[in-house]
Amino acid sequence: MKRADLTEKLLDIKREKGWTWKFITDEIGGVSPIIIVGALLGQMKLVKPLAAAAAKLFGLTETEERMLNETPYRGTPMPPTDPLIYRFYEMVMVNGPAWKALIEEEFGDGIMSAIDFNIEIEREPNPKGDRVKISMSGKFLPFKYYGNSQGIPEYGFKET
């Protein structure tokens, strides 16, 4: 069985049982719903206790449970073709340079981690149509200046 086959099996069970992602993530618990859904869709891994909880919920074999604990090959072809995912791509392509400039002005030369990272999705009621509110928080990781000497800073924190 390939990982994509397990994803399809999980989606088939979800459909057959009439489960929502909220039900599934509440049953498995332990981490952000985004990580659980991402793992069930093949883009993340579940730690062993959560893989066991998912296997029990979905009635998986031991091999399928182990697959949920394996580090997956992450990502999708670019640019994405799904309209909703493409809009995220578009937001980064259009706003990315401004985000980069503002982050570097505030923090210095570095990146925002997508590994040491939190994200939350909420519905924000609005009389003109509900809005999707996404909050992201990633650790700032300054670039390291290798081979630095004579008072040159080792990391790219904001210079004062």
Query: Is 32 assigned a catalytic role?
Result: no
Considering the candidates 70, 87, 137, 154, report the single residue annotated as catalytic.
87
Q: What is the DSSP string of 96-138?
A: HHHHHHHHHHHHBSEEEEEEEEEEEEEEE--TTS-EEEEEEEE
Segment holding 71, helix H or strand E: none
Query: Using an 8 Å Cβ cutoff, are 36 and 45 in contact?
Result: no
Query: Is 113 assigned a catalytic role?
Result: yes
The structure tokens listed for 42 are 């093949």
Q: Residue type for 72, please?
A: P
Chain center to CA of 25: 15
Considering the candidates 66, 70, 74, 90, report the single residue annotated as catalytic.
90
Query: Is 90 assigned a catalytic role?
Result: yes
Please state, as a whole number, how many other Cβ atoms lie within 10 Å of the Cβ of residue 144. 13
Report the distance separating Cα 156 and Cα 145, nearest Å: 7
Chain center to CA of 7: 17
Considering the candidates 66, 113, 120, 137, report the single residue annotated as catalytic.
113
Residues marked as catalytic: 87, 90, 113
